[in-house]
Amino acid sequence: MADYPPTVRDLLAALRELPSIGPRSAERLVLYLLEEADGTKDRLARTLQAVGTRVHPCTRCGFYAEEEICELCRDPTRDPLLWCLVASPGDVLRIERASAFRGVYHVLGRKLSPLEGVGPEQLPTSSLLTRIERELPREIILALGTDAEGEATALYLGQLLKKTGPRISSLATGLPAGGGLEFADSVTLSYALAGRREL
């Protein structure tokens, strides 16, 4: 029985590792790339290489950056004393699309998840605490989602961060129960930011 050459099989396997890409989707993408002649394949290869070598976490907040500090942290119109603590860089983009927040961010990188072996010891809080001590924020909004992991992480961090000095608040209700920020539309996120409550 005929099969693809080894290099094509490797590409199929790599594509299947991406979220939402199953065997058929991967095969459709590979067939398109093998047959296209408009330069998409070359542009995709160059762009993936550039992303792999040039994009890294911002040394200040953890969002995506090509320089040492990301564009959001360098923006002089933002309030550097108002922080939004999120679980992932994708959450930064979700909040930014709501156009309701003009402070800065801190990307925690993970949430508490006992089933995955992530307890309080595994949370990367040392960089957060060091940054708080250095920059002395006025308020930190915990925007970690309303799923069980997000709520548990917010509860734990709320207790930990209250000792550091800034006001600690969380997003208001209106976010879907049991879900992360990726399931909230920009209007709902905007209302949740405006109606945040102190912990």
| pLDDT of the chain, 199 residues: tens digit per residue | 678 889 999 999 999 999 999 999 999 999 999 898 788 888 988 999 999 999 999 999 999 999 999 999 999 999 999 999 999 999 999 999 988 899 999 999 988 887 777 778 888 889 999 999 999 999 999 999 878 888 888 989 998 998 888 999 987 666 555 666 676 667 667 766 766 666 6
Distances in Å between the Cα of 89 and the Cα atoms of 22, 27, 61, 108, 138 are: 25, 29, 9, 9, 22
Does 112 lie in the same domain as 49?
no
> Which range of residues forms the domain containing residue 93?
70-198
Kindly state whether residue 65 falls inside one of the protein's structural domains: no
Is the same domain home to 124 and 154? yes
Same domain, yes or no, for 79 and 163?
A: yes
- Produce one character per residue of 6-31: b if its CB has 16 or more CB atoms within 10 Å, e if not: eeeeebbeebeeeeebeeeebbebbe
